[in-house]
Every structure is written in C-alpha cells, then in structure tokens.
Amino acid sequence: MIDQDLDQKIKEHEAKIEELRQQKEAQAKRMEGFEKYDDQIRDLFDEYGISEYDVFTMRAGAIVEWIKAQGKKSDKPEFYEELQTYFARVNGAKSGKRKGKSAKASSGPKLAIGWYEHPQTGERIEKKRRNPKTLDQWVEEFGAEEVQNWLVREEETAEA
C-alpha cells in the first residue's frame, strides 16, 4: 500500500514541531521572568526587612478572594482540589466527620462490648469501645440487628 500524501503529512508534522519549539521558547522566557521576579522580591524583602509571612498576611484578603474565584471555574486548578481535600480532612478530624458518625451511631442500636463471630466465615472480632472497621462493614452489609445476634459470650470465647 502506497501513501500518496506522505509529503503533506511531513509538512504537517514539521509545522507541529515548529509550534512546539515556539511554545518551549515562550515557556523558557516565562521561567526566566519568574526567576528575575523572585530575585527582585528577595532584594526588596532584604531592603525593607519584610518576610513572606508579612506579605501573605497583608494580602490575605486578596488571596482568599482569588482562591474563591478559582473554585467557581469549571476547570479548577490542581491546588484548589488539594486545598479542598486538606480542609475536609482537617475539619472532619476536628468535628464534622465525628458528628456525622455519632449521629449515625446514635440513630441505630448500639452494639454491646464483646466478641462477635461471623456465622458464615467464622471470623471473630472483639469490640471494646468503638466498632472495628470490619464490624462496621458487617453492620452495613447485614444490619445492626443481625450482627447483634452474632455476639458470643466471653466465656465461650475464652474456652475456644
């Protein structure tokens, strides 16, 4: 099979290569600009005795508004997603997730402290204060009432 348009394809690829070279040069120039900017900022910090903390504190309101604006975009920048994940984890660890779990736990019956044995697999799990992850999975899959029936007396567990 002979391709008659090979010369045309070569020209198209050469044009694309040239476009990529121009993009590379533009990016290099931008990086040079960032480096000069950083050097000049450091010189100003030294000259006026200020720190990045001072600048960020002074600009905090504008930074917050800028981040909020980024969140309204359809294609959010990567840092925005990172911040969302970070604050969800931090806020969840302090109160949000615990409130949700405690509300969920209090709405259903609580499982008694002791050993639970899965009737199909024979797996045993000890519940002391909070439910172990596997026990929560059993409750989710089979329901709290069913799992309550799997409670094994400690005397029977000690003998086994």
Query: Whose CA is closest to 110, among 135, 76, 141?
Result: 135
Q: How many domains does the chain have?
A: 1
Q: Where do we find the tokens 């029977």?
A: 156
For residue 19, the model assigns a pLDDT of 97
3-state secondary structure of 40: helix
For residue 92, the model assigns a pLDDT of 78
* Residue at 43 is within a domain: no
DSSP lists the bridge partners of residue 114 as: 127
Give me the domain span that covers residue 128.
109-159
CA gap 122, 134 in Å, rounded: 13
Instruction: Say if CB 127 and CB 111 are below 8 A apart.
Output: yes
* Residue at 58 is within a domain: no
Residue 67 has pLDDT above 70, yes or no: yes
Instruction: Say if CB 131 and CB 101 are below 8 A apart.
Output: no
pLDDT in tens, 109-153: 588 888 889 888 888 888 888 888 888 888 888 888 888 888 885
Q: How confident is the model at residue 28 (pLDDT cuts 50, 70, 90)?
A: very high
CA gap 71, 112 in Å, rounded: 45
* Residue at 41 is within a domain: no
* Residue at 144 is within a domain: yes
* Residue at 37 is within a domain: no
pLDDT in tens, 70-123: 988 888 888 888 998 888 888 876 654 444 555 444 444 588 888 889 888 888
* Residue at 125 is within a domain: yes
* Residue at 104 is within a domain: no
* Residue at 101 is within a domain: no
